[in-house]
């Protein structure tokens, strides 16, 4: 496998990151995604980042607000900043999708790469929930570092207002215990 491709066994997708620009000329993080059948991510919000998902092959479904929308090759789904969203592949073939996220936030690559590493290490359930205290502390450090970039909304996680109370002290404890100190295991963005 290409060493620049990040494998995530929990969310059943592979990701490749690069820098580029969006249609308005803003700096963007471009994520090429291969989402396996049954794969996808849980609902979340990017408060300041718009994402444009274009299906290149297969079929993918996107949650935008409270509505799931299917997209076929050549179709694009735009998720404005601040909107609850997710994606999934309910088909029987790999969905190849290109996401342009702008304005660029390097935390996006770091967050997704660290989450994938936790999945590969067996630290997350199939729903992305940390297994055990160590994994919870590692996830708290990751969430705290990226709190401006993403809010996770998937139950059984506590609602965002409770996360804002719990995550900072858990992250401080996690940092004291050495979680998240090393850089994310991935190729640097270009």
Q: How far is CA 150 from the centre of its chain?
A: 9
Residue 160, helix vs strand vs coil: helix
**Residue bearing tokens 């996107």:** 62
pLDDT in tens, 160-177: 778 788 888 888 889 999
pLDDT in tens, 57-86: 999 999 998 999 999 999 999 999 999 999
pLDDT in tens, 27-43: 999 999 999 999 999 89
**Residue bearing tokens 């709190």:** 147
Among left, alpha and beta (phi > 0; psi -120 to 50; other), residue 91 is beta
**Residue bearing tokens 């997704």:** 112
The model carries a pTM of 0.88
- Residue 121, pLDDT > 50, answer yes
Instruction: Quickly state the pLDDT bin for 187 (edges 50, 70, 90).
Output: very low
- Residue 99, pLDDT > 90, answer yes
Domain architecture of the chain: domains with CATH: 5-102 (2.60.120.10), 107-176 (no CATH)
- Residue 147, pLDDT > 60, answer yes
Work out the angle at residue 56's Cα, subtended by the Cα atoms of residues 107 and 32, and round it to the nearest 5 degrees. 20
Residue 13, helix vs strand vs coil: strand
Nearest to 54 by CA among 76, 35, 71: 76
pLDDT of residue 156: 61
């Amino acid at each position: 496998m290409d060493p620049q491709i990040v494998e995530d066994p929990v969310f059943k997708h592979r990701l490749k990151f690069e820098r580029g620009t969006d249609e308005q000329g803003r700096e963007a993080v471009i994520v090429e995604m291969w989402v396996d059948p049954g794969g996808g991510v849980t609902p979340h919000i990017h408060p300041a980042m718009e994402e444009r998902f274009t299906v290149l092959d297969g079929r993918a479904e996107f949650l935008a607000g409270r509505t799931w929308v299917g997209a076929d090759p050549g179709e694009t789904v735009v998720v404005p900043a601040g909107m609850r969203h997710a994606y999934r592949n309910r088909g029987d073939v790999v969905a190849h999708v290109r996401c342009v996220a702008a304005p660029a936030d390097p935390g996006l690559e770091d967050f997704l790469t660290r989450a994938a590493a936790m999945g590969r290490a067996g630290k997350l359930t199939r729903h992305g929930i940390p297994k055990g205290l160590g994994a919870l502390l590692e996830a708290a450090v990751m969430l705290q570092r990226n709190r401006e970039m993403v809010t996770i909304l998937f139950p059984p996680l506590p609602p965002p207002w409770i996360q804002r109370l719990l995550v900072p002290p858990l992250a401080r404890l996690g940092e004291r215990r050495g979680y998240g100190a090393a850089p994310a295991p991935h190729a640097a963005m270009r």
